[in-house]
Amino acid sequence: MHGIGEKSIEKLNEIGIYTIGQLLNLTEDEMVYYFGKYGVEIYNKIRGYDNRPICLERETKSVGRETTFDNDTTDKSFLKAVLLDFAQELAGALDEEALFAKTVTVKFKTDNFKTHTRSKTLKKYINTYGEIKDTAFDILDDYNINGSIRLIGLSLSNFSDASYEQLSFFDLPDS
């Protein structure tokens, strides 16, 4: 059972307990006697009681799209067209979640089934189609394709829920 380690198992075995069923026969007071205050937690866990809040929504860590082609390709203009579609979809996803991304990743799988990823972490957070597309194209243009591509993917990560922009000293107004 999760939460019962080797030391606890040794202690249980010393008192003749080898199964969860046998552990269920102990009273809460006995559990506290053998395990201290942690005994209450074990007592409740084995009975299915858990007062931790249920969190139905998880924080988004990344969003992405990918596709496997029917025919492998070396055509960069075709790959860019696919990335265009993905950039548009992902910009919409960021907009829905009111998120801004700082890292753009392009994933490639070559005809020999090797997967390659190339990421670019930007100085500022982005969320527009144009910014996502431009960064994805930069990554693709920098990638030296050896062989054909059978899969391409685009993902965004390193999120913020507000647009924080690092200003340059050169961007500051004159005083």
The model's pLDDT over 9-53, given as tens digits with 9 standing for 90+, comes to 888 899 899 988 898 999 999 999 988 888 898 888 888 887 777
Q: 91 to each of 74, 85, 100, 106, how far by Cα in Å?
A: 26, 10, 9, 15
State whether 68 and 97 are in the same domain: yes
Query: Per the confidence metrics, is the pTM higher than 0.75?
Result: no
pLDDT tens figures, 121-175? 999 999 999 999 999 999 999 988 788 999 999 999 999 876 455 555 555 566 5
Q: Which residue in the block uniquely carries the two structure tokens 């059972």?
A: 1
77 and 12 assigned to the same domain: no
149: left (phi over 0), alpha (psi -120 to 50) or beta: beta
Same domain, 36 and 71: no
Task: Assess whether 110 and 145 both reside in one domain.
Answer: yes
Asked if residue 172 is part of any domain, the answer here is no
Q: Domain span at residue 99? A: 62-160
